[in-house]
Amino acid sequence: MSRYSRHIVLEEIGPLGQQKLARAKVLVIGAGGLGCPALQYLAAAGIGTIGIVDFDVVEESNLQRQILFGASSLGTNKAIAAKTRLEDLNPLINIVAFAEKLTPHNALDLFATFDLIIDGTDNFATRYLINDAAILTDKPVVFGAIYKFEGQLTVFNYKGGPSYRCLFATPPKAGSVANCSEVGVLGVLPGIIGSMQANEAIKIILELDQVLSGKMLCYDAKTTESHHLKIVKSESEIETVLARKHKFTAFDYEAFCGLTIPEISAAAAVQLKNVLFVDVRELTEKPEVTLPNCVQIPLGDLNNHLSKFKADQHSVLFCQTGVRSKLAVQQLIEHKIEKCFSLIGGAESLLNYTTITK
């Protein structure tokens, strides 16, 4: 009663509403710029079970906007680091960390055990994956997106409302939309949009009116102005997703978004002639890797070092898990630099071939 007293005195919430929040199960995909503030307010509000899906680790460049983390979190998986912080914020709720990538193989099982989904991701392949899994499991999705000084917010798949594919039936051409590591983002912007995502989730759980379904809020942080765009439901798009349910686990979302990235194993990489190994992790991350002809260029700084990549040389890029190295390879391909690969399994896969310091 003391912790949630400001909720309980609200006529629209009261004791029964707080019980609804306590029984609710919310799955947050991505503990980054959007996920951090959403998670913080959901935990503080008393959401009974919160799931966090994120396979990435905390980097120094995250700290400008990902407010759940601090210097002590560097190199730690984001889902696990977020769980630790949130358990201190509210020890009365259940927080489950999934330190893994969302894929067609685990999405349906994950979604089935939660009431609603918050999409805090930053790439189109995962957004389409979330959309399709939500349609197949009949779960609403609270969607947020940010770009430089602009943010977007809406709720998809809510009580038969429009889905992400109704708004974007096809993905943009690969490389046509820059990410925040390339163009930057105002640090406070994801805090604003992520908090709004938590607000929509709470409205859904409490069954309040005027959930942001069928329209998208567009917010400009420079002018502090906002406007709404109408989203029209496309029955054909939703029926297409439902019709290929039996093929869901085999659908290649990265290929659908033009993101098929060349990969290579450690065993094959060390056999290459004239090869440059590139560590795209932050300088503080462990384990430290010592390899002949190896340089360290953090992902956010890659475009400033394109001269290091030679046309007649193989380049093998690696990170902690293989995620950032794929993004790095994609950047190089966009700059017409070929013969580059993402290392499968990340730095640990080099254990048998190099000197690694824990």
The residues carrying an active-site annotation are: 180, 319
Contacting residues for 333 by C-beta, under 8 A, at least 6 apart: 340
C-alpha dihedral sign at 307, 312, 313, 317: positive
| Per-position DSSP letters for 54-101, written without gaps between them | ---B--GGGGGT-TT--GGGTTSBHHHHHHHHHHHH-TTSEEEEE-S-
Cβ neighbours around 89 below 10 Å, total: 14
Peptide bond into 171 cis (omega under 30): no
- Rounded Cα gap, residues 138 and 115, in angstroms: 9
Query: Rounded CA gap, 42 and 200, in Å?
Result: 11
R_g of the chain, CA atoms, integer Å: 21
The half-sphere exposure of 345 on its side-chain side, counting CA atoms within 13 A, is: 11
Residue 3 neighbours by CB under 8 Å, 6+ apart:
46, 90, 92
| Secondary structure element (H or E) that encloses residue 244, with its range | none
Which has the closest alpha carbon to 141: 231, 80, 18, 240?
Answer: 231
Q: How buried is 204 (Cβ within 10 angstroms: 0-12 exposed, 13-18 middle, 19+ buried)?
A: buried
In angstroms, rounded to a whole number, what is the distance separating the alpha carbons of residues 309 and 340? 9
What is the rounded distance in angstroms from the CA atom of residue 200 to the CA atom of residue 263?
Answer: 39
Within the chain, residue ranges assigned H as helices are 5-8, 14-23, 35-45, 78-89, 107-112, 124-137, 164-167, 180-183, 189-206, 235-243, 253-256, 266-269, 323-334
